[in-house]
Amino acid sequence: MNKTIGILGAGQLARMLALAAHELGVKTICYDANDITSAAAVTQTMQGRFEDEKGLLDWANRCDVITYETENIPLAATDILAGKGIEVYPSRRALAMMQNRNLEKTFCRQLGIQTAEFFIVHNEEELREAVSLLGYPCVLKTTTQGYDGKGQYRLNDETEVSALSLFWDREYILEQWLEHDGECSLLSVRDHAGHIKHYPLTYNQHEQGMLAYSRAPYPDCAMQKKANDIAERIVQHFSYVGVLAIEFFMVGEELRINEMAPRVHNSFHWTLEGANTSQFANHIRALLHLPLGDCEAIGTSHLFNCIGQMPACERILSYSGVYYHDYGKMARPGRKLGHVTWCDFNHPGDTEIATVLRSEINNIYN
């Protein structure tokens, strides 16, 4: 297929998108401010500032369609492209909303979608007033740029509030701590014609604010339907094109949105081997007006993030049905370096290998 997709950003998500595009005969070119990137090993990359109009347009003019790998792409980049009539998918409206927790939760409330209670705070006085209304425990987060637990503070008592050392040069959101039964995520995909498909719900476990483990599918038909309904309201609102990830807290029989991401998502990397069509392939299909693929899981998949260090490849691959993904990144504590997936297509209730893999993958967070 003689097309070229431009990807804003060149990390591991862009790397996996490029590999999925390659299988369809589609070229990719990434644009990133960094000169050392994960995607550079598998696709062409260009380095430049996201606010550099000339560099950005030189890159964009080589592309037939443009997308991004992270919601933290500066809106200035999409505005430069829009000024020249170049569209980016998912849309700028969706990107702007999902990179700001204040806008995101306000948007959910406007659509009647439930979230935790929250207050926006700009100084210590507003923080203390909000804490008095929400009570303990609660969570303070930056409204922008926070990810993988960064810029987040769980507050359990007055002592922890007093111990905070913050520069009040940015906006924060204080959220009620939800007592929940678990966390799950949904990935949906919508194409230009408005066709929508959903992947199975995925159950997630976090460690120190970072996703450590995911299992799919999550076997709750009622929860799946509720999640699908929420996602459809959101993607229809934006006339969305591409994949959308939504993270939920499970509170009894209800779902509360935690965060959204207008991109492929870590918790659905299992779809590379464990679904009929991967999340990356379906995002490419949506961009290029191709028929969306089947989102069904083939069996049960267990995904383990490798954080801070990669486990020994030989050991991991000695187990049947296990797949090893190294993103080619420099190791450091708290950095996602790769993932391991075990796909159990024949014995969905067996967790023995998953237990063994947990012991093989020793993440380093600090």
- Cβ-based neighbour number of residue 24 at 10 Å: 14
Would you give the DSSP letter of residue 178? Answer: P
Per-residue pLDDT at 356 exceeds 90: yes
Q: Residues 56, 77: contact at Cβ < 8 Å?
A: yes
Coil/strand/helix, residue 127: helix
| Boundaries of every domain in the chain | 4-88, 117-176, 182-360
Place of tokens 């701590």: 177
Residue 352, pLDDT > 90, answer no
pLDDT tens per residue, range 22-45:
999 999 999 999 988 999 999 999
User: For position 152, what pLDDT does the model report?
Assistant: 87
Q: How many CB atoms lie within 10 A of CB 366?
A: 6
Domain 182-360 has CATH 3.90.650.10: no
Residue 71 buriedness (CB in 10 A; 0-12 / 13-18 / 19+): buried
pLDDT digits (tens, 9 = 90+) for 115-128: 999 999 999 999 99
| Residue appearing with tokens 């993103």 | 327
Q: How many CB atoms lie within 10 A of CB 70?
A: 18
| pLDDT at 1 exceeding the cut of 80 | no
Q: Are 323 and 343 in contact (CB under 8 A)?
A: yes
Q: Which fold has domain 4-88?
A: Rossmann fold (3.40.50)
CB 21 within 8 A of CB 27: yes
Query: Model confidence over 248-290: pLDDT tens digits?
Result: 999 999 999 999 999 999 999 999 999 999 999 999 999 999 9
pLDDT attached to residue 332: 96
d(CA 79, CA 91) in angstroms, rounded, equals 11
% of the chain with per-residue pLDDT over 70: 98
Sort 295 into a burial class: Cβ within 10 Å, 0-12 / 13-18 / 19+: buried
The CATH fold assigned to 117-176 is: Dna Ligase; domain 1 (3.30.1490)
What type of residue is 191? D
In 3D, which of 48, 67, 68 has the Cα closest to residue 58?
Answer: 48
Query: Using one digit for the tens of pLDDT, what is the confidence trace for 296-330?
Result: 999 999 999 999 999 999 999 999 999 999 999 99
Taking the C-alpha atoms of residue 148 and residue 114, their distance in angstroms, rounded to an integer, is 23
Q: CA dist 87 to 84, 129, 312, Å?
A: 9, 43, 43
Per-residue pLDDT reduced to its tens digit, 185-217: 999 999 999 999 999 999 999 999 899 999 999
